Amino acid sequence: MKIICEKEKLLKGINSVVRGVPTRTTMPILEGILIQTNDNELKLTSYDLELGIEYTMECEVQEEGNTVVNSIMFSEIIRKLPDTDISIELNENNLLVIECEGSLYKLSTMNPDEFPELPKIIVENSIETEQTVLKNMIRKTIFAVSIEENRPIFTGCLFEVVNNSLNVVAIDGFRMGWVSNKLSNSTNNFKAVIPGKTLNEVNKIILDSFDSIKIGVSKNQAIFEMENCKIVTRLLDGEFLNYSSVIPNNWETRIRVNKNSIQNCFERVSLISSSSIEKERKYPVKISIDVGKVVISCTNQTGDAKEEIYTETEGKELEIGVNPKYFLDALKAIDDEEIFVSFGTNISPCVIKPIDKSSKDYTYMILPIRMKED
């Protein structure tokens, strides 16, 4: 095998596929990147047996071949080489020879026949959207994915196509994030739960651009396809929560508030509330709603904090305790200038929604924390 490739193109491909290399594995072959040539194309592949990434690029192929090289060493060397063409050759001793201007490196390789094949997915349902749309939908929900393995289904996001809209939902047992976007092409209704780990990596690879991305699902696998890159992943097994049944339809108290104003208040009060991680649940932030204003406060062993903000209020006066991190995560994901925050009782979930659903549709639900009696 012998190829000549531009550093910029090669590094872009390497940076994409290294996201599929496992951090810990008992199989050394999985720590490598599979390098393959075909005509004037170079294909790089990584696979941790759950997430696989394949990246294809044009290059000058002088001699066909394939091999597997350690991902860390290969990526670090390429990253630090000069910004010009790089020559890569597999010599008779199965060493990968990398040359660039005055630089010369030789790396040991592994047998490409031992590298596991990516699953061949027979797509049953698929959608196509812009990369920037998917990137935003993941960003606006991924923080609510559970990190607890005792409920594996909640460690992923539900991708649900209903009535030609894509809904993405994340739940961790204490909060929920839901966003929806209309699809431009007609498609069948379907649902699949994609691991949060996969979506984090997808979001790092896709661009904030109008370039298209196709998402296809089979019974137990999903595939994300872009111009140069293909990402395959297993789906999570199990029944996702019927989330629509737990979102309150009615409210007792509702405020209309400037998003940045309430976010800034929470960030300041959180300096007291989150002075230590283990105290965050013990010392929630209290939201007190009165006519025309909201008071956000916290009192604990560190000190006191109180913020007052003027809002449009409807309904009853209310006091409720919340985890400030959960509230802030939701607020940071919202781009709107103003939002509705609605409440039931002090033990009912609070719900954040857009003022105008015609342009954007999202819902964040946060369970309250029971306040200690004074």
Which tens digits make up the pLDDT trace of 152-163?
A: 999 999 999 999
pTM above 0.95, yes or no: no
Q: At residue 294, does pLDDT exceed 60?
A: yes
Specify if 119 maps to a domain: no
Q: Which of 96, 93, 102 is nearest to 10 (CA)?
A: 96
Q: Are residues 311 and 257 in the same domain?
A: yes
Lowest-confidence pick of 47-51, 71-75, 359-363 = 359-363
Q: Are residues 303 and 346 in the same domain?
A: yes
* 222-265 pLDDT per residue, tens: 999 999 999 999 999 999 999 999 999 999 999 999 999 999 99
DSSP calls for 234-283: EPPPSPPP-GGGTS-S--SEEEEEEHHHHHHHHHHHHHHHTSSGGGTTTS
Specify if 261 maps to a domain: yes
pLDDT at 279: 43
State which of 87, 114, 141 marks the end of a domain: 114
Amino acid letter, 363: T
CATH number of the domain at 333, please. 3.10.150.10
Q: Are residues 62 and 144 in the same domain?
A: no
Q: Are strands 125-130 and 318-322 parallel, antiparallel or unpaired?
A: unpaired
Q: At residue 57, does pLDDT exceed 70?
A: yes
Report the distance separating Cα 143 and Cα 83, nearest Å.
37
Q: At residue 135, does pLDDT exceed 50?
A: yes
Q: At residue 372, does pLDDT exceed 80?
A: no
Q: What angle do CA 81, 82, 88 make, to 5 degrees?
A: 55
Residue with tokens 């690879």: 205
Specify if 372 maps to a domain: no
Specify if 258 maps to a domain: yes
State which of 216, 245, 274 marks the end of a domain: 245
Structural domain boundaries, residue 36: 2-114
Residue 287, burial from CB neighbour count under 10 angstroms (0-12, 13-18, 19+): buried
What sign for the dihedral angle of Cα 50, 56, 60, 64? positive
Q: At residue 282, does pLDDT exceed 90?
A: no
State which of 227, 245, 263 marks the end of a domain: 245
Specify if 371 maps to a domain: no
pLDDT at 357: 79
8 A C-beta contact, residue 157 and residue 184: no
* 333-366 pLDDT per residue, tens: 999 999 999 999 999 999 999 998 776 799 999 9
Confidence of residue 373 (pLDDT cuts 50, 70, 90): low
Specify if 315 maps to a domain: yes
